Amino acid sequence: MLYSSSNRTGAKVMFSRFACAMLAVALFTDLAVVSAQAQAPSRSTYEKNSYRSSEKSRQKPRPVEQAKPLQADGPLLMLVSLNQQRMYVYDSNGFVVQTRVSSGRTGHETPVGIYSIIEKKVDHTSNIYLDAKMPHMQRLTMTGIALHGGVIPGYPASGGCVRLPFEFARRFFGMTDISQRVVIAPDVQSPIEFTHPLLFSALPSVAEDMLPGKRAETTGDKAIKIGVDVAESLLGVSSAHAATEPQGRTLEGAAEARRAERQRLVDAIGAASDRRTAASESDKAAIKGLADARNAAKAARGEAGKLSRAAEKAAYAQKSQERALKSIQTRIEKSSSKMRADKLAELQAQEAATKEKIAPLTADAASAADAAKAAGEAAKAAEAALDEAQAKVKAAKAEIKDAASAEAAAKTAVAKFDRVESNRELPVSMFISSKTGMIHIRQGFEKVLDLQAEIVNPDVPLDTFVFTAVAWKDDTKTDLKWTATEVSEHSSGILGYGNGSERKKGAPEEVKLPSQTDAQRAAQTLDRIKIPKEASDWISEVMKPGSTLIVSSYDMARSETRYAGTDFVVQMPEVVAKISKPTPRPKTELVEDEGGGGCFFFCSSYSSNSPAKKRRVGGGKSNVW
C-alpha cells in the first residue's frame, strides 16, 4: 500500500514539473515574438543597410601600414636622462630622435653609468620578474638592466630597466647594433665634434697608392726618385731622401707581422708536441731502467743477505773453537801440577788440535766478512741506482706534464689569437681609469690588452667622458671624426616630469635638447693622459668608426664585467645587483567551482561534478617591466 502511494506521489511531481516547463516555453515564445516585432526594421531600412554592406564588400581592404624604421647615419649614442625621463639618440651627424622613457622607481633605481648593448631579442621573457614580457629587449648588463618596450606613465616606474614606448621600441630595435653605447645619468650633455692629438687614427694602407687617381702620380714620383738615385750614384753623392723618409707602419705590414706571429705560435705547438713525444720516449726508457734497477737491487740485496749469513756462521764457528781452546788452556793452567802425565798430554793434544782448527776458521770468517761487506756495498749501489731510476721516471713524467701544459698553452694562445683576429673588423673599446692608472682594450667583447698608462697628477680624479669615432674624415680611411660626451653622476635636481597627471592629454609637449659638452674640459682631461706605445700601435691597426674611448675617475664595474660576453661597464658609483636569482613563481592550487551549476528545472546527475578550475595564488604576475 505504501509502495503504490509513493508511485502516485512521484507521478504528481513529474506532472507538475512538466506543466511548469510547458508554461515557461509558451511564455518565452510569446516574449520572443513581441520582441522580434518591436525590433523588426522597415523594408526600406533593410534595403538601405543591404546596399551599404554590398558597397563595403566591393571596396578593397586597406593595407596595414608598417612602421618605418628610424633612419641614422653611423654609430649611435643613446643618452638617457633620469631627471627628464627622456632618451636622446645621436649619430655621426648629430641629433636623431628623442622619446619619453620610464626608468627605475624608488628602491629599484636605474644605476647611473656608461653601458653598451650586449644582446638584442625581439621577444624576451624575464626570468626575474615572474615571466614579465619585455618586447624588443636590448640588454645592457647581465644582471637585469635593459632597454625594452613598456608602459610609460610619465614618471619612474620600472624595476630598474629603461622602458621605451612600445611603438618606438619596435622601430628603434632595427636601428641599433651590438656594442653601441648607452649613457644613463641624472642630466645628460649632448656630444660635440672634437679633435685632440691623443685620439687615435688608423694605419695607412699601401693599397691606397694604387687607386686610379693616384697611379700616375705614384709612377712619376718613382721615376723621379730612380733618376735621382742614378744621378747621385754617378756623381758619388749620398741620397738625401733615403735618410729623410723612414719606412712607416702600414696595414699590410701589420698584417704580415700578425701572420708571422701566428706562425710562431703554431710552431710553438709543434715544438711542444715534439717535446712531449720525446718526454714520452724518455719515460718509457726510464720505466725500463727502473725495472732493471729494481731487479738488480733485489738480486744484490739477496746476495748480500746470503753472504752476511755465511759470514755470521763462519764467525760463530771461529768463536766456538776459540771458546773451546780457552777452556782447554784454563784446565791445563789450573791442573797441570796435579794432573797425571797422560791426562795432561791428552789436554795438550786437544789444545794443539783446536788451534789447528781455529786457523782456517779465522781465514774463512775474514773472507766471509769481506764478501758480505762487498755484497753490502753492491746492494747500496743497487739501491742508489734504483733511486736514480725512480728520479728519472719522475723527471720524465714531469717533463711530459710540462710539455703537455706548454702544448695546451700554445694551442690556447693560437685560439685566442684567432678569436682576436676574427674580431678585428669590429669596433674597438678602450677604457682609461685614473683610479687604477690602467688602459684596458677590448674588441668584440674579448679582452686584448691591459697596460699601465701614465696620468699627470694621478691623485686628481679625471672627468668622465665618452669619445666616439663616428666616421672617416676622407676616403683614405686613416683619420677619424670624433665626438666627445661628458658624463656626470651629479644631479641638477630639476625634474622634467611629475606624477603623470599634470600634462593634459593631447597637449603639445615642449622638449628641450641637452646642453652641449664642454670641449675645453674634454681637452684638459686628455692632456693629462699618456698611452704606452704598445697600446697605441695595436689600436692604430684596428681603429674604425664605432670605436670608443672611455675616460673616468671610476674603475670598471667588476661585478658586471666579470661575465663573459660583456663590454666595459662604468657605474657611478658601482651598484652590485640586488637580484641574484629569479623570483620564485607562485604555486597553483585547485579551486572547486561552488556556483551550484546552471540548471533550471531539470538537473542531471553529473551537473554537480564539474571539473575543478586552476588559478594562481601567492601573488599575482608582476607588472614591472
- Position 5 pLDDT exceeds 80: no
Query: Considering only 3-12, 196-205, 278-287, 400-409, which range has the smallest mean pLDDT?
Result: 3-12
Average pLDDT over residues 425-431: 94
Q: Using an 8 Å Cβ cutoff, are 572 and 464 in contact?
A: yes
- What's residue 29's pLDDT? 53
Domain ranges for the chain: 2-55, 74-188+423-502+509-587, 268-422
Question: 587 to each of 131, 377, 613, 615, 617, how far by Cα in Å?
Answer: 14, 82, 14, 9, 6
- C-alpha cell of 531? 698611452
The residues, ordered by sequence, that sit 6+ positions from 587 with a Cβ below 8 Å of its Cβ are 616, 617, 618
pLDDT single digits (tens) 131-174: 678 899 999 998 889 999 999 999 999 988 999 999 999 999 99
* Confidence category of residue 311, pLDDT binned at 50, 70, 90: confident
Q: Give the closest residue to 110 by CA, choosing from 150, 82, 148.
A: 82
74-188+423-502+509-587 has which fold? L,D-transpeptidase catalytic domain-like (2.40.440)
Question: By mean pLDDT, which of 36-45, 177-186, 379-388, 551-560 is the weakest?
Answer: 36-45
pLDDT for 381 equals: 86
pLDDT per residue over 83-141, tens digit each?
A: 999 999 999 999 999 999 999 999 889 999 999 999 999 988 776 665 678 899 999 99
Query: Does the model's pTM come out above 0.95?
Result: no
* Range with the poorest average pLDDT among 156-165, 350-359, 406-415: 350-359
- The single-letter DSSP state of residue 206 is G
Mean pLDDT of 510-522: 91
pLDDT tens sequence across 208-240: 555 454 444 444 444 444 444 433 443 343 433
Return the bridge partners of 516, or none.
190
Residues 332, 326: Cα–Cα separation, whole Å = 10
Say what the pLDDT of residue 514 is.
94
The rounded Cα 294 to chain-centroid distance in angstroms is 52
Lowest mean pLDDT among 131-145, 266-280, 487-501, 605-619: 605-619
Question: What is the model's pLDDT at position 23?
Answer: 66
Quick: pLDDT tens for 188-201.
999 999 999 999 99
Q: What's the rounded mean pLDDT across residues 295-317?
A: 84
List 123's β-bridge partners, or say none: 135
Mean pLDDT of the chain: 78
Contacts of 438 (CB under 8 A, 6+ apart): 432, 450, 451, 452, 453
More confident residue, 348 or 19: 348
* Side chain identity, residue 507: A
Residue 463 and residue 209: Cα distance in Å, rounded? Answer: 41
- Residue 397 grid cell: 713524467
Q: How confident is the model at residue 9 (pLDDT cuts 50, 70, 90)?
A: low
Nine-digit cell string for 276: 712531449
**Are 555 and 436 in contact, with CB atoms under 8 Å apart?**
yes
Q: Which CATH class is domain 268-422?
A: mainly alpha
Q: What is the pLDDT of residue 505?
A: 53
Percent of the chain with pLDDT over 70: 71
